[in-house]
Amino acid sequence: MATSCKTGSRVAVRPLSEEALEMIARRFALLGEPMRLRLLHALFDGEKSVTALVEASGGTQANVSRHLQAMAEAGLLGRRKQGLQVFYSIADPTLFQLCELVCGSLEEKLARDAKAFARAG
């Protein structure tokens, strides 16, 4: 979406098929759960086993396993099996940028809100 040909400051937006829309939505939805973000956050400094992720996230083994599987199926995570253990890792580098964008935007918004609050009070 916002699939674009930037021409100056105006952006030409092309139409999006229903399937494309659902794929995009599904990807955003995957990032829309705190537990999954916690797992991604733990993976940001490198590949980890399921057990390590269970400890890092504080979740149950079953739940963590499910979330990891969902993200792996969507292509967000990579899976590497070694003996008894399974190691997951960030497979989509845009995850870093996505999270930084949202984080930055939220920080700005919070700063603005705080300022407005101070001005009003």
Partner DNA sequence: GAACTATATGAGCGAAAGGTAATATAGTGC
Partner DNA sequence: GCACTATATTACCTTTCGCTCATATAGTTC
Which residues make up the interface to a second copy (CB under 8 A)?
A: 1-4, 11, 13, 16, 18, 20-34, 36-38, 40-41, 44-45, 75, 92, 94-106, 109
Least spacing, CB of residue 88 vs DNA, in Å? 8
Among DNA, a second copy, none, residue 114 binds (CB under 5-8 Å by kind): none
Among a second copy, DNA, none, residue 89 binds (CB under 5-8 Å by kind): none
Least spacing, CB of residue 6 vs DNA, in Å? 30
97 HSE (CA, 13 A, CB side): 3
Q: Given the complex with a second copy, which of 84 and 120 has the nearer CB atom?
A: 120
- Select from 17, 12, 77 the least CA-distant residue to 50: 77
Cα angle vertex 25, ends 21, 26, to 5°?
120
Among a second copy, DNA, none, residue 111 binds (CB under 5-8 Å by kind): none
Strands (E) across 14-110 are located at: 48-49, 77-82, 85-90
Hey, what are 112's tokens?
Answer: 């603005």
